[in-house]
Amino acid sequence: MNWRLVPLVSAGLLIVAGGFSTGGVQAHSKMAVQTSANRASVSEPAPKKAEEQFKNIQVLKGIPADELFPTMQFITASLGVECEFCHVHGAFEKDDKKPKQTARKMMEMMFAINKDNFEGHREVTCYSCHRGSTHPVAIPVVMTEEPKEGMAEPHGPDAGAKKEEAKESAGPTADQLLDKYVQAAGGAPAIDKITSRVMKGTIDFGGKSLPIDIYSKDPDKRISFTHMPDGDSVTAFNGQEGWLGMPGRPVREMHGSDLDAASIDADLHLATHLKQMFSQTRVAGTEKIGDREAYKVLGQREAKPPIILYFDKQSGLLVRLVRYGETALGWLPTQIDYADYRDANGVKVPYRWTLARPSGRFTIQVSEMKQNVPVDDAKFVKPPSPEPPKGPAK
């Protein structure tokens, strides 16, 4: 596998690495995303369906076409396999491989289990049984070492919630924690004064280290350039659209959950925007992150997966953010750990963060940072996409 393509970016480029031509992935026109300016009013045109874009969809009919790749990533993460476990290289529509046929039956089974037993709620997913293996374990294991405390702790958005209900009255409320975070980060006036941020640093993944430049500009614009031997890898969001670029390849548009994630990363005033992002918030206990205790806050959003925030018990700063990408079969998690907070223009900014997904992780360490410097808007102009293919008339 080509190391350059590994964990830097999401769905798109991994698929390119797998040899799949993404020619067909030009979906509908612009998709309105929530930005800080219009977080309340989201309007999205009716998305194209998977079966309209792909050749051989039998079970996942009706899901948005944009969700197909994340859904495939959910499957690979759940079974611990590569795309080729089920797919013929370069001909994803073919049904030659047995596991692909089995996977269709498994989807039907999963939907039936949830329908018949959990009132249609997606309680059981591929991962519930498979746990990163093609062969689910049916027999309990014997105890080979002394039990560690917390070993069987559940994880996921609601983990720890029940345990915490009893002592909830004692600790701070979610609102208090969000307020404390704003204070810890410098206070709303100082945070809102930041209009741009330019960072230089390194991105480390899979034993490699490459220089990276990141430009952010209010409102909700962000672009990063990872300097690779043969050119720049680009991840960008301009307030409405997001795109990914690799040297020598056409840009790929971001869709669905990737756009949602990009808009969060691009927000220079996230701390002061958190409250309005959520329809409901709840403290779901405390957890150890590294050697420090953190409060876990569950933020529900309208029509989107929740976001989980972890605030350092002492400093009040955001030390971890977990968000989920929607797929047809379950949520795909992304975890970002923030560290090395430093003072800059009266605000606290993390100089290091690690982003982890089921498919890989990377760490960015900032070495130089400037804020409130001019950043040319031309940086955030999306390069032209390749011509959409002339598919069969519909």
Footprint (CB under 6 A) of ligand HEC, residues 308-337: 329
DSSP secondary structure code for residue 185 in this structure: T
Query: Minimal distance in Å, beta carbon 382 to ligand HEC?
Result: 24
Q: Which two tokens stand for residue 361?
A: 């992780």
Minimal distance in Å, beta carbon 82 to ligand HEC? 7
> How many helices and strands (H and E) does the chain possess?
10, 13
| CA-derived radius of gyration, the chain | 22
Site for ligand HEC in 40-99 (CB under 6 A): 54-60, 68-69, 72-73, 75-76, 79, 81, 83, 85-87, 92-93, 99
**Site residues (CB under 6 A) for ligand HEC, limited to 141-170:** none
CB of 323 to ligand HEC, least distance (A): 20
Q: Closest distance between ligand HEC and the C-beta of residue 261, in Å? A: 18
Residues 6-45 that bind ligand HEC (CB under 6 A): 15, 18, 20
- For ligand HEC, the closer CB: 155 or 227: 155
Measured distance between the N- and C-terminal CA atoms of the chain, rounded to whole angstroms: 37
Structure tokens at 263: 């808009």
Position 394 contacts ligand HEC (CB under 6 A): no
Select the residue interacting with ligand HEC from 134, 176, 279, 280 (CB under 6 A): 134
Q: DSSP secondary-structure letter at 91?
A: B
Asked if 345 and 372 count as a contact pair (C-beta separation under 8 A), the reply is: yes
Three-state SS string over 361-394 comes to EEEEEEEEEEECCCCCHHHHCCCCCCCCCCCCCC
For ligand HEC, the binding residue among 21, 38, 117, 128 (CB under 6 A) is 128
Q: Find the binder of ligand HEC among 5, 6, 16, 129 (CB under 6 A).
A: 129
CB 258 within 8 A of CB 11: yes
For ligand HEC, the binding residue among 17, 124, 344, 369 (CB under 6 A) is 124
Beta bridge partners of 203: 210, 364
For the bound state, the minimum distance from the C-beta of residue 67 to ligand HEC, rounded and expressed in Å, comes to: 11
Residue owning tokens 């971001």: 254
Does 176 bind ligand HEC (CB under 6 A)? Our answer is: no
In whole angstroms, give the CA distance from residue 72 to residue 282: 31
Q: Of 231, 233, 229, 256, nearest to 244 (Cα)?
A: 233
Residue 220, both tokens: 């909700």
Nearest approach, Cβ of residue 108 and ligand HEC (Å): 8
Q: How far is the CB of 118 from ligand HEC (least distance, A)?
A: 12
Which residues are near ligand HEC by CB under 6 A? 15, 18, 20, 54-60, 68-69, 72-73, 75-76, 79, 81, 83, 85-87, 92-93, 99-100, 102-104, 106-107, 110, 124, 126, 128-130, 134-136, 329
